[in-house]
Amino acid sequence: MKYLTEFRDGELARKLVAEIRSAVTRSWAIMEVCGGQTHSIIRNGIDQLLPPEVELVHGPGCPVCVTPVELIDKAHAIAAAPGVIFCSFGDMLRVPGTAGDLFQVKGRGGDVRVVYSPLDAVKLARENPTREVVFFGIGFETTAPANAMAVVQAQRLGLSNFSVLVSHVLVPPAIEAILGSPANRVQAFLAAGHVCCVMGYHQYPALAERFRVPIVVTGFEPLDLLDGIRRAVLQLEAGTATVENAYPRVVTFEGNRPAQAVLADVFEETDRAWRGIGVIPRSGWRLRAAYRAFDAEARFDVSGIRSVEPAACRSGEVLRGTLKPHQCAAFGKECTPRAPLGATMVSSEGACAAYYNYGRLVDLGTGRIGSAGAVACPA
C-alpha cells in the first residue's frame, strides 16, 4: 500500500477482499506475528471479512505476553527492594506474577513508575543519585534500540545507580521455532512491520526458502493487513514461497543501520524463555560483558525465586496458535481485562484481551468466530 489516503477507503478494502475470495481454492492458515496486528485485525473485523477458508492464527508477538513469569517475579522482587525506583511501560504493571502484580507492590510502598521511554528512566536515575533506578527492558526488536540507547547514555553519563532488567525477544527465531514444531499448521506469515523497520527483512528469505513459507512484511492499518493477507494467499495458491514487502513506506530491506549498530554494540544473542512456550535457542538479547554493570539481574540477588503459573491459564497454547482465546474455559469468566489471569488478557495487544474487548464469541456450530458487537470494517 503506497498512499495512506487509501487506508480507510472502503472501495479498496472491498477490492482486496474480492481478490482474496476469488483466489482461494482451499483452506490456509496464516499467522500474524505481531500483537499490534492482532489488535488491529480484531478491532477492524478483518478476520470477519475473509472467506472461511482463510484462517488467521495469532502469533506470539506481544512482549508483555511472552515475558516469562520468573522474570515478572524478579521484577516484583526488585521493585519491592528498599531504595529502588522501578520503571516500566504501563502494561507491565498489571501482569500477574506468582503473587500479585506491580500495582500491589506499589500499594505496599514500592516506588513503581510508568515511563513513556527508557530515556525517562535514565533521567530519573540522574535526578535521584541516592536511589537505584531499574528499568524493565522488555520488547522485540522495535523496542530494543531504545533500551540499548538508554544503556549507552547511562554509561556516557557515568551513572552507577541505573540498571535494566533485560528481557528482549527476537522474532525470526520464534518464527523458526513455530515452523520447526511438529504441531505447526501455519502456512504463511505476516511479518511485523515495525520490527522490520528496525531490522530490515534480510533475515527472512532463508526462512521462507527453508520452510517453503511465504512471508509478507505487513503494516498495521486495515488496508495494510488486507493487502498482506492478499499477497500471502496469492503466493499460497501459486505454490510460491518468497518474501514480499507490503509496507515499503516504512520498511526497507536493510532496515535502520544506525539502530542496528548500537544494538550490536550493546547486546548479544542468548537463549530466552518465552511464557507458555519455553526456551527458544538464541531468541533473545542480553547485555554484552562491556555493559554488564547495567544488568539488574547482576546487581540484585533475585535468584531462588519460585514461580508458579496459574493452572487455569492456557495462554501458552494461545501464544502458540493452537487455541483461540474464547476456547479457554476461564475466558470472560474468571479471566477478564479487569481481573486477568494471564498476560494475554493484560496487554491490550494480547489475543485474549483483543477477543474480549471486541466481543468475539465462539460460534459452536461452525467453529468460526462471531461477534457480539458491530463490526468496524474499514468500509
Partner 1 sequence: MCLAVPGQVLSVFEADGARMGKVSFGGVVKDVCLAYLPDISVGDYTIVHVGFALSKIDEATALETLRTFADLGLLDEEFGPPPAPAGAAP
Binding site for ligand SF4 (CB under 6 A): 312-315, 318, 325, 328, 330-331, 335, 340-342, 344-345, 352
Q: Which is nearer to partner 1, 137 or 342 (CB)?
A: 137
Q: What x/- string results for residues 32 through 51 when contact with partner 1 is judged by CB under 8 A?
A: --xxx------x--------
Q: Give which of ligand SF4, partner 1, none residue 84 binds (C-beta under 5 to 8 Å, depending on kind).
A: none
Q: Is 262 in the site for partner 1 (CB under 8 A)?
A: yes
Q: Which is nearer to ligand SF4, 62 or 233 (CB)?
A: 62
Q: Give which of partner 1, ligand SF4, none residue 71 binds (C-beta under 5 to 8 Å, depending on kind).
A: none
Strands 132-139, 360-362: parallel, antiparallel or unpaired by DSSP? unpaired
Q: Is 145 in the site for partner 1 (CB under 8 A)?
A: yes
Q: What is the smallest separation between the CB atom of 310 and ligand SF4, expressed in angstroms?
A: 7
Q: What is the smallest separation between the CB atom of 188 and partner 1, expressed in angstroms?
A: 21
Identify how many contiguous H helices and E strands the chain contains and give both numbers.
17, 13
Q: What is the smallest separation between the CB atom of 112 and ligand SF4, expressed in angstroms?
A: 22
Q: State the virtual CA torsion across 40, 45, 46, 47 in degrees, nearest 10.
A: 110
Q: Give which of partner 1, ligand SF4, none residue 142 binds (C-beta under 5 to 8 Å, depending on kind).
A: partner 1
Q: What is the DSSP letter of 161?
A: S
Q: Is 106 in the site for partner 1 (CB under 8 A)?
A: no
Among candidate residues 349, 309, 356, the one with its CA nearest the CA of residue 328: 356
Q: Give which of partner 1, ligand SF4, none residue 366 binds (C-beta under 5 to 8 Å, depending on kind).
A: none
Among 102, 259, 319, 353, binds partner 1 (CB under 8 A): 259
Q: Which is nearer to ligand SF4, 65 or 150 (CB)?
A: 65
Among candidate residues 52, 100, 102, the one with its CA nearest the CA of residue 78: 102
Q: Is 377 in the site for partner 1 (CB under 8 A)?
A: no
Among candidate residues 57, 43, 62, the one with its CA nearest the CA of residue 167: 62
Q: What is the CB neighbour count within 10 angstroms for residue 85?
A: 21
Q: Give which of partner 1, ligand SF4, none residue 61 binds (C-beta under 5 to 8 Å, depending on kind).
A: partner 1
Q: Give which of partner 1, ligand SF4, none residue 246 binds (C-beta under 5 to 8 Å, depending on kind).
A: none
Q: Which is nearer to partner 1, 5 or 130 (CB)?
A: 5
Spell out the alpha helix ranges (H) of the chain.
10-23, 35-43, 46-49, 63-66, 69-80, 102-107, 118-127, 144-156, 171-180, 193-199, 204-211, 222-238, 257-266, 296-299, 315-320, 343-346, 351-357
Cell of 126: 540522574
C-alpha radius of gyration, the chain, whole number: 21
Ranges within 61-90 binding partner 1 (CB under 8 A) = 61-64, 89-90
Q: What is the smallest separation between the CB atom of 364 and partner 1, expressed in angstroms?
A: 30
Nearest 5°: the CA angle 333, 138, 322 is 45
Cell of 125: 536515575
Measured CA to CA, the distance from residue 156 to residue 66 in angstroms comes to 31
CA distances (Å), 207 to each of 232, 278, 291, 301, 329, in order?
15, 21, 31, 39, 35
Q: Is 192 in the site for partner 1 (CB under 8 A)?
A: yes
- Judged by DSSP in three states, 21 sits in helix
Site residues (CB under 8 A) for partner 1?
3-5, 7-8, 34-36, 43, 61-64, 89-91, 114-120, 122-123, 126, 139-140, 142-143, 145-146, 149, 153, 156-157, 192, 194, 197-198, 220-221, 249-251, 256, 258-259, 262, 347-349
